[in-house]
Amino acid sequence: MIWLIIIVTVLFSSVASIWTSQSKDHQYVSLENFFVLIFLYFTMTIGFALIYTILQINGYNVFVKNHNDTADGFFSVFQDGLYFSATTLLSVGYGDVIPVGAGRWIAVVEALLGYIMPATFVARVVIDWEKERTIR
């Protein structure tokens, strides 16, 4: 359970970095902003995949696969969790892995963050651009 707390802390710290990181480039979209967004997606995907994996391995069904896969080891479950996390965060949702129980609420939070991150990225670019414009 301590791993779950650590993972959630890292996830929220990653999201908070959007507002605390300072841009040093003088472009409309800085390379720093782009890499922050990519890093956030990467961190969020892996973080939520670990949450799904830990819960699934500990007996809490948080997702169900539509294909028959007999492997139940950590890496097999993590692979399914990573795939489900990526399709949820990026709003693809193919439907071959379906959230159940508490997994539905976790998926809702993940999807919401997946929608908020691009909007926050655009807002940050506009704010950086405004700061740059007022300095000149």
Residue 65 — very low, low, confident or very high, per pLDDT cuts 50/70/90?
confident
* Buried-state track 61-74, b at ≥16 Cβ within 10 A, e below 16: ebbeeeeeeeeeee
Predicted confidence at residue 57, as pLDDT, reads: 92
* pLDDT of 22 higher than 90: no
* pLDDT of 5 higher than 80: yes
* pLDDT of 21 higher than 70: no
Q: Are 88 and 114 in contact (CB under 8 A)?
A: yes
Predicted confidence at residue 136, as pLDDT, reads: 65
* Cα gap 36→93, rounded to integer Å: 24
* Cα gap 72→55, rounded to integer Å: 13
Predicted confidence at residue 13, as pLDDT, reads: 80
Q: For 69-125, what is each residue's pLDDT tens digit?
A: 666 788 989 999 999 999 999 988 888 899 999 999 999 999 999 999 888 888 888
Residue 27 — very low, low, confident or very high, per pLDDT cuts 50/70/90?
low
Predicted confidence at residue 29, as pLDDT, reads: 60
Predicted confidence at residue 68, as pLDDT, reads: 72
pLDDT top residue among 127 and 112: 112
Predicted confidence at residue 67, as pLDDT, reads: 76
